[in-house]
Chains A and B, each alone.
Chain A
């Protein structure tokens, strides 16, 4: 089927009333959680996973995809107004966006971010339509060794492009791979690491693990923060940017679209990396780099465009190769797997309505987001009034009830609790949950491909390097390992050039963010001292 017919089919899927409703719900939820600090896209998608099982597969991904790119728009709002990134990819926006807000230009900052995001998202969708089918055709010829190479590449890139220590990420990836082996061995049927527990024979439930690590872990971790952030009361004026603003930022939007698209396709890419890269690029290109960090509109337009472009193009490796390039996509991959749909090269052929339906829904979703963000930004700001304690209580209850509903099993609730504890401890000790979950999802694919390769080659490990594609990928991995040793220092230098206090939370959601605002005494923050009693939330400004 050619792409044109595919797109038409996609729109016929995406424009059904149900799917339109779920695109809208997705982008709305995405924007809301983008605004709410502390609950990032990963946690929210993890929390909503059980609900997706009652939906058609295509509707489920349309919803989850909408949440993902919707959060890219929403995260901007708090970055600009409160210097408080609602999700990690918007950290960069705090540098110049908050400065613009201080100069009374919050409106144009939000406006250009929404417009840039729309353009970036649309460019990415077009790129996806052009690139995905040939990539899937290529991937159809992949054998087990190529899949071994591809999965390892994915895991490796996520560990290398993460924000913490590479070694710790690798360690977590190994743990994820190990946890994936719990249950019956797919080939021999031997029970592995089940300790006689029947509930473990099918392995640890992916949803329970993800909800524990990202949902409960995140919420529990946020309990330690007792500072509150006061809602913004001032009205946002003049959201539509001036002609000069457009002129200043058009180049940044164009470059951000392309850069974001390319980074999103790479395993390990996605929001944070692309927005950082775009910021660095704009600053380097600028005639007067000193303007950056003082309210340069390019510093908002470029990164915001890039993060949305990359969150769209990140679907390419998932839908064509079956390799989720980052954690959010790993969750979506898991959601599909639970519906017995294997994302991979066969998807375009076997389930064209899913593939094209999701693409078409992105076109629609981005338009909805533009419509939501430009006139309705004031309403979303009101969301900041929701108190963190209420949010946490309900999120926990939804998590627990939700995870029970997946398999109607109380055992999974204990799994959530245990992984919640692990997730919290990991946050405390600087281990990232991302590589763990990604490796957990990819673990069974990797093991099966590895064992098939061994059977294919008669136990000869050479098979991975002698076949051109897998050999090439392993060579590429070797290159990454070498290059990263050099660039890790340079990356620190890039971080160092901007205000170092700002880049502390390049984490999936930014739980420490309001603590930071409070510490610096920014005008938007109602800084209160640590009081474990939690009585601080009853300050009059909160009501």
Chain B
């Protein structure tokens, strides 16, 4: 993953982006880690460090968050930039994909497995997978059925009650 900015990458896109835009952006990762580390240092101090003879609950988290803060601080300064991947137009797809997963969980909690699984398969097969409608619907229906049988009937997983259960149960 660290070499993808080298010549091995197809020169089709990203060359412009790679130039200046993410050169500043790439510092964000260690900065975030640094902030996280500092917050953890403060948090573990609040938990109570105790003594080495009688370690408190915060001592160990304190030690490891110091390590995190230290390494992150050094990375802010000397982070080698070459192992960063450039941001591409594909990033938008990814954010859409992540949002869709969040929506899936919400749907899952309210409507149960069958509806949410079917919708998610349709979305992922059609939009992200680029399948034809025929393949998408076939796979989504079949896939949902197989998954339902596998998890609910075979493994006995108690998914939240959903529309289908309401119909069957009613």
Interface bin, chain A = 35 or more
Contact of B64 among A174, A417, A461 (CB under 8 A): A174
A240 interfacial contact with B, CB 8 Å: no
B90 near A224 (CB under 8 angstroms)? yes
A385 within 8 A of B: no
Q: Is A420 an interface residue when CB atoms closer than 8 A count as contact?
A: yes
Residues of A within 8 Å of B35, CB to CB, are none
Are the CB atoms of B85 and A404 closer together than 8 Å?
A: no
**B43 pairs with A193, CB closer than 8 A:** yes
Does B125 lie at the interface of the complex (its beta carbon under 8 Å from any beta carbon of A)?
Answer: yes
B147 at interface, CB cutoff 8 A: yes
Which residues of A, 204-220, contact B by the 8 Å Cβ criterion? 216, 220
Min C-beta distance of B85 to chain A, whole Å: 5
- Asked if B9 contacts A224 (CB within 8 A), the reply is no
- Cross-chain contact of B61 among A170, A192, A417 (Cβ < 8 A): A192
Bound complex: CA A170 to CA B58 (Å):
21
Instruction: Mark each residue of chain B from 129 to 142: 1 if its CB lies under 8 Å from any CB of chain A, else 0.
Output: 11110000001000
Contact assessment for B101 and A216 in the assembled complex, using a CB-CB cutoff below 8 Å: yes
Q: Chain B residues in contact with chain A, CB under 8 A?
A: 1-4, 6-13, 26, 29-30, 33, 36-37, 40, 43-44, 47-48, 51-61, 64-65, 67-68, 71-72, 74-75, 78-80, 83-85, 87-94, 97-98, 101-102, 104-105, 108-109, 113, 117, 120-121, 124-125, 127-132, 139, 143, 147, 151, 155, 157-160
Instruction: Looking at the assembled complex, report how far the CB atom of B76 sits from the nearest CB atom of chain A, in whole angstroms.
Output: 11
Q: Which residues of B contact A537 (CB under 8 A)?
A: 129-131
- Whether the pair A538, B26 counts as a contact (CB closer than 8 A) is no
With A174-B67, A401-B147, A504-B2 in contact, do A532 and B125 touch (Cβ < 8 Å)? no
Query: Does A192 lie within 8 Å of B64, measured CB to CB?
Result: no
Chain B binding surface, main DSSP class:
helix
Q: How far is the CA of A431 from the CA of B157 in the complex (A)?
A: 35
Contact partners of A429 in chain B: CB under 8 A: 26, 29, 83-85
Contact across chains for B52 and A454 when beta carbons are under 8 A apart: yes
Complex: A223 Cα to B95 Cα, angstroms: 10
CB of A505 closer than 8 Å to a CB of B: yes
Which one, B53, B57, B89, B159, contacts A185 given CB within 8 A? B57
Complex Cα distance, B83 from A282, in Å, reads 29
Q: Which chain B positions have C-beta within 8 A of A396?
A: 101, 120, 124
Contact B147 A220 (CB under 8 A): no
Q: Which chain B residues lie closer than 8 Å to A519 at the CB level?
A: 8-11
The answer to the question of A533 belonging to the interface, with a C-beta cut-off of 8 Å to chain B, is yes
Contact partner, A224, options B60, B91, B108, B132, Cβ 8 Å: B91
- A420 → chain B closest CB, angstroms: 7
- CB < 8 Å neighbour of B147 from A181, A224, A397, A515: A397
Shortest CB distance B136–A (Å): 9
Chain B CB within 8 A of A380 CB = no
